[in-house]
């Protein structure tokens, strides 16, 4: 049997001009994770990441501290199928349709637009995106011009399948990705409804570990969203 550690990227630069890069806290979360893996005897012989900067930077910062004392950190293999869904496109293209059709979505958008500080802005953004995602996953809209949930789900599951079905026994694999693909990994493993992938997405901490045991034709969930390696002051969702 082999082990698969699926790791969410560290804290990104929320509300910055370029969200897709780690904050200093995000880099530190990844470094703490690398030290934890090294100090607790985790042997990693394969590393995969999506192509987003925040995912790759997490793998790099984690590898930096893992390599202390001569430990080997494998070269990161990029799989674009591990990228997050396009939240910006959902917000910019799907939102306009849904605020015209659904009063509760319009109210959530007003709350977000009128937010007064970063804390309120974050909270209202999350509530709005969560509402939009329910329609996005259900394919209950007419808008076009962005990746559908079905396309996202299919590419993510194909990326996991590519990793899972490679030859070899006793593999120890670290995958650096985002909350959406982690939600899909758990939802598909448990054969749960796809709306559950969206619900799980909201609960995934930055730099958390979700662990599976697997072989080519079978996979089992061992642990979801572990953050025992992170001090309380370093825990974050975005």
Domain 2-80+170-234: assigned CATH number: 3.40.50.1240
Evaluate whether 122 touches 16 at the Cβ level (below 8 Å): no
Domain extents in the chain: 2-80+170-234, 87-138
Span 132-171, pLDDT tens digits: 999 999 999 999 989 999 999 999 999 999 999 999 989 9
Q: Which helix (H) or strand (E) holds 137?
A: helix 118-138
Candidates 180, 93, 108; CA nearest to 141 is: 93
Report residue 91 as tokens. 């917000």
For residue 49, report the phi and psi dihedrals to the nearest 5 degrees: -150, 155
Span 91-147, pLDDT tens digits: 888 999 999 999 999 999 999 999 988 889 889 988 999 999 999 999 999 999 899
């Amino acid at each position: 049997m082999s082990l698969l550690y699926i790791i969410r990227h560290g804290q990104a630069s929320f509300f910055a001009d370029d969200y897709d890069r780690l904050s200093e806290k995000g880099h530190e979360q990844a470094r703490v994770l690398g030290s934890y893996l090294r100090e607790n005897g985790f042997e990693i012989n394969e590393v995969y990441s999506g192509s987003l900067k925040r995912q790759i930077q997490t793998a790099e910062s984690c590898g930096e501290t893992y390599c202390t004392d001569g430990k080997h950190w494998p070269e990161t293999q990029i799989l674009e199928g591990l990228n997050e869904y396009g939240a910006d496109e959902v917000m910019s293209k799907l939102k306009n349709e849904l605020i015209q059709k659904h009063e509760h979505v319009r109210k959530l958008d007003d709350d977000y637009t009128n937010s007064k500080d970063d804390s309120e802005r974050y909270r209202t953004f999350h509530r709005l995106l969560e509402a939009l995602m329910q329609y996005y996953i259900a394919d209950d809209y007419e808008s076009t011009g962005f990746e559908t949930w079905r396309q996202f789900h299919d590419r993510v599951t194909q990326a996991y399948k590519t990793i899972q079905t490679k030859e070899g026994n006793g593999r120890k694999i670290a995958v650096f990705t985002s909350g959406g693909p982690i939600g899909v990994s758990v939802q598909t493993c448990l054969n749960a409804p796809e709306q559950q992938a969206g619900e799980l997405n909201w609960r995934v901490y930055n730099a958390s570990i979700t662990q599976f045991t697997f072989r080519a034709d079978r996979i089992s969930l061992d642990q979801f969203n572990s953050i025992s390696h992170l001090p309380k002051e370093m825990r974050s969702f975005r």
